[in-house]
Amino acid sequence: EAGVTQFPSHSVIEKGQTVTLRCDPISGHDNLYWYRRVMGKEIKFLLHFVKESKQDESGMPNNRFLAERTGGTYSTLKVQPAELEDSGVYFCASSLAGPGKDGYTFGSGTRLTVV
C-alpha cells in the first residue's frame, strides 16, 4: 500500500509570505494528524482530523496556521503570514484507528525554512 505522502519536501520562503503544505494519507485512513519539530525541540502535536472534521486542534500555535481536510481525503496546512519561528519540519501521519492499535504511519515531512 502507498504510504503517507507529503509535499513539498522542502520549502524556503521569506518572512511574511504564505506557504501551503499538503498531506495525502493512506487510503481509507479516517484519522489524519499534523505534527512539527522546530529546531532543537521535540516533535509536537498540532491537530487531529477524523475524516473532514477537526477532532483536536489544541496544538495549533496561533491563528496564522489553518488546516483543512475537505472531503476527508488529503489535508493542507497553510501558514499565513509565515514568521521565522515557524521554521522546522512538519510531519503528517494517518491511522485507521487510535494509536493503541497500530501506531501511526508518518510521512517523510516537509522541511520549512523561513528567511
- Residues engaged in binding another protein (CB under 8 A): 3-4, 31, 33, 35, 41-45, 48, 55-56, 58-59, 91, 93, 95, 98-109
Nearer to another protein, 55 or 80 (CB): 55
Nearer to another protein, 43 or 115 (CB): 43
Helix (H, G, I), strand (E, B) or coil at 100: helix
In the chain, the DSSP E strands lie at 5-7, 10-13, 19-24, 31-37, 43-50, 53-56, 65-68, 75-79, 88-95, 105-106, 110-114
Q: Report, in Å, the least distance between residue 3 CB and another protein.
A: 8
Q: Which residue has the cell 495549533?
A: 60
Contact 89, 9 (CB under 8 A): no
Q: Report, in Å, the least distance between residue 61 CB and another protein.
A: 15
Nearer to another protein, 17 or 105 (CB): 105
Q: Report, in Å, the least distance between residue 15 CB and another protein.
A: 26
Q: Report, in Å, the least distance between residue 11 CB and another protein.
A: 15
Sign of torsion over alpha carbons 90, 10, 3, 65: positive
Nearer to another protein, 18 or 56 (CB): 56
